[in-house]
Structure 1
């Protein structure tokens, strides 16, 4: 692949710039759209649509790359034709950065958000390991996002070791805002980093790898900010969290009792990625990343913060395209040092035609209702597939994990050019 890039790059660089870009005219007329607080509907509900692992920008110099992007836009449209979210979350790996050219790497963002702009939907992003690479950076994607008034993505934690997409969004009751009401729901967004540092090389010419876990400075900010909310409003505010790469807890729960740890009726979903890849995978505890260690444990502070945050109902991740289940983490899993306190760890559905795997594409939906949220801290979630079907509908409540649900079918969909892709560029998994 590298040889092909070197040989074809000068010829194909110009066509690679021809990325369809939606016009800003209407968006500019809606200036301030995303500055309005998020709020529940008048009937007391708030819904989120999560798209993850879209992987735009693969092989722009071939037929199958742009076709995959077209198919991914179609997935977004098909889902949003049937769902009416108050917020769209782009949960990491928006762009396959190692496949992009420096001069246009962030322009793919405009393709991704076009269906949202057309529907006047607002969105928030986390960045994944493929969004950080030699020719693309989280900072660059954020700058591109902020061109659109629909975007709510922010950077609240400065520093090289923090990543970029670390922030929170409060959600208020209808007709309320931060001036006269307390939030009814907090949404936390974390950058799990990974990939490579932008335009950096070691003396030997190799790219500089970036840690792939939520940094300690971010954990400290999260804990302190949440405590400030509690102190200011005199009560715990229920919350949801979004991070691209899952923590070690997801893998530990998945393998605790072997392949059948995730039960097809009690934790319905696809469970083909076994085991899932977690934060700090391949790193050593001393910070080395030389392939000699399986897991370094650097996500322990983040896991400790998760379990010690009352009211945190669920953490939603992507990264592992063949995992779509939710699991209640409510005990100490053998081999771990952090005990779960009841938070649900959920994967979404692979949304894009880019990236590895042929599982049917779709989008996890999450809905909360003020009538139950204030007392019971529970949420409803389901996956809307590109076919229009709904699978994996469950209640993340006190009895989740004991309640029986229909199993999720393991359906596949294929890009028309997939057979060509497999011959010329086999896709690597979860790196």
Structure 2
């Protein structure tokens, strides 16, 4: 077994000498107040609004054996604090790549969760995660991250679809009216979370000693669960319930929309946001239709069932993704894009902001905000969204309504920030 381990890529941290864990947050799960608002069912506020702060691609845990790795994590915590000081979310979403798994040690690969959620716990906020491709590697898994999260009572992350192929973070959260916060009440909004998987299987090697890759798309078993569960909820309450969805890796529809009209197809005033990751990386990238992952195929189309399920879900306002650090726009998918087999129904496909100092790129860090209103949902399925930057500024503020895509907004500056201890030329 040892001989095969030495065939792992050099950047995978082997379980030989674990670095010291990052500093814990001021509170611990044992001392946390379980009666706090963070442990109660999600409800709209008395003013009729519900706001979500989305943090994408935090990438904690890079190179713990060097000075710049832990320093990045300190700055990432600062980003979370800066955003939460200026926003008042009712839920914090950690939308994939919480940890850079290929740099972690088996003994302490998930301790970074405590560092990530520290600012959230200190503010008595609930949080929910969707896991990303870097959250799955030889020394880390979505199951282990979930177990670490569940030490905190305000974690809402669940795993509702069993099976090796499903991934872990597939679940939904209901949001109730303010006067009703118990099971049995009719929810006024649903939040769907999907695991796009990717990365590598935990502690599994190929015959040649290389890591065993995990498929990078929402599995068909999850698609069936989504369809059946949504149908059951709709039948139970006798109405369509508006919803939002979160998944780390975007679908092929985002790539098709981005490239339909060439590199300048994302209009900076109609779809404000940066568009530096061109072309973007979508689900099933690099996989063949027959399931091979040998660099012989660009895209296998395995996310088609998921895209079909999304557009066939009435009331689904938007799908929010990360993964491509240099893209921060929203696009209304309302037509059949050339080369696609699935036509959009007007659903909004949005990227967040690269939130962490780990991971590639120097784009200014921040967090996408999403706010919905009970009164507005009674009239139409729409939401407000904007990005709060670590500088305190707000960019990309838009209304995801019936006219989004034709309305004109200010362009988003393509600003950069740098961690002072980073090695120049590392990327």
- Bin the TM-score by the shorter chain: over 0.9
Structure-1 separation of matches of 2:11 and 2:208:
22
Q: 2:332 aligns with which of 323, 328, 331?
A: 328
Query: SS where residue 111 of structure 2 aligns?
Result: helix
Which deviates more from structure 2 when the two are superposed, residues 286-295 or residues 27-36? Answer: 27-36
1:31 Cα deviation (Å)? 5.7
Count of aligned positions: 419
In structure 1, the partner of 2:114 is 110
Q: 1:243 aligns with which of 229, 247, 256?
A: 247
Query: SS where residue 39 of structure 1 aligns?
Result: coil
In structure 2, the partner of 1:173 is 177
Contact 1:34 1:152 in 2 (8 A): no
Classify 1:103/1:25 alpha carbon distance in 2 versus 1 (closer, same or farther; 3 Å).
closer
Query: SS where residue 106 of structure 1 aligns?
Result: coil
Q: 1:58 aligns with which of 59, 62, 68?
A: 62
Structure-2 separation of matches of 1:119 and 1:63:
29
1:4 Cα deviation (Å)? 7.6
Classify 1:69/1:339 alpha carbon distance in 2 versus 1 (closer, same or farther; 3 Å).
same
In structure 2, the partner of 1:255 is 259
Query: SS where residue 212 of structure 2 aligns?
Result: strand
Structure-1 separation of matches of 2:251 and 2:36:
35
Q: 2:354 aligns with which of 323, 332, 350?
A: 350
In structure 2, the partner of 1:41 is 45
Classify 1:205/1:5 alpha carbon distance in 2 versus 1 (closer, same or farther; 3 Å).
closer
User: Is 2:300 aligned against 1:306?
Assistant: no
1:229 Cα deviation (Å)? 1.0
1:19 Cα deviation (Å)? 1.6
Query: SS where residue 372 of structure 2 aligns?
Result: strand
User: Is 2:371 aligned against 1:367?
Assistant: yes
Contact 2:39 2:126 in 1 (8 A): no
Contact 2:316 2:347 in 1 (8 A): yes
User: Is 2:155 aligned against 1:151?
Assistant: yes
User: Is 2:388 aligned against 1:384?
Assistant: yes
Deviations 1:357-405 (A, max 9, x none): 0000000000000110122011000000000000000000000001000
Structure-1 separation of matches of 2:142 and 2:184:
34
Structure-2 separation of matches of 1:273 and 1:37:
37
Contact 2:11 2:102 in 1 (8 A): no
1:418 Cα deviation (Å)? 2.2
User: Is 2:36 aligned against 1:19?
Assistant: no
Structure-2 separation of matches of 1:26 and 1:102:
24
Alignment of 1:179-218 (within 5 A): 179=183, 181-218=185-222
Contact 1:268 1:408 in 2 (8 A): yes
Query: SS where residue 332 of structure 2 aligns?
Result: strand
Structure-2 separation of matches of 1:200 and 1:5:
13
Query: SS where residue 231 of structure 1 aligns?
Result: helix
Structure-2 separation of matches of 1:356 and 1:204:
29
Structure-2 separation of matches of 1:41 and 1:351:
26
Classify 1:192/1:4 alpha carbon distance in 2 versus 1 (closer, same or farther; 3 Å).
closer
User: Is 2:79 aligned against 1:75?
Assistant: yes
Query: SS where residue 190 of structure 2 aligns?
Result: strand
User: Is 2:133 aligned against 1:132?
Assistant: no
Contact 2:138 2:201 in 1 (8 A): yes
Contact 1:27 1:117 in 2 (8 A): no
Structure-2 separation of matches of 1:24 and 1:177:
27
Structure-2 separation of matches of 1:319 and 1:66:
22
Give structure 2 stretches of 5+ with no counterpart: 1-7
Structure-1 separation of matches of 2:305 and 2:207:
32
1:26 Cα deviation (Å)? 6.5
1:181 Cα deviation (Å)? 2.6
In structure 2, the partner of 1:412 is 416
Which deviates more from structure 2 when the two are superposed, residues 54-63 or residues 35-44? Answer: 35-44
Query: SS where residue 144 of structure 1 aligns?
Result: helix
Structure-2 separation of matches of 1:31 and 1:210:
39
Pick the structure with more helix per residue.
1
Superposition misfits of 4+ residues, deviation over 6 angstroms: none
Deviations 1:191-249 (A, max 9, x none): 00000000001111111000000000000000000001110111100000000000000
In structure 2, the partner of 1:286 is 290
In structure 1, the partner of 2:5 is none
Structure-1 separation of matches of 2:148 and 2:37:
17
User: Is 2:168 aligned against 1:164?
Assistant: yes
Contact 1:27 1:149 in 2 (8 A): no
Give structure 1 stretches of 5+ with no counterpart: 427-431
Alignment of 1:80-95 (within 5 A): 80-95=84-99
Root-mean-square deviation (Å): 1.6
In structure 2, the partner of 1:429 is none
With the length of structure 1 as denominator, give the TM-score of the two structures.
0.94
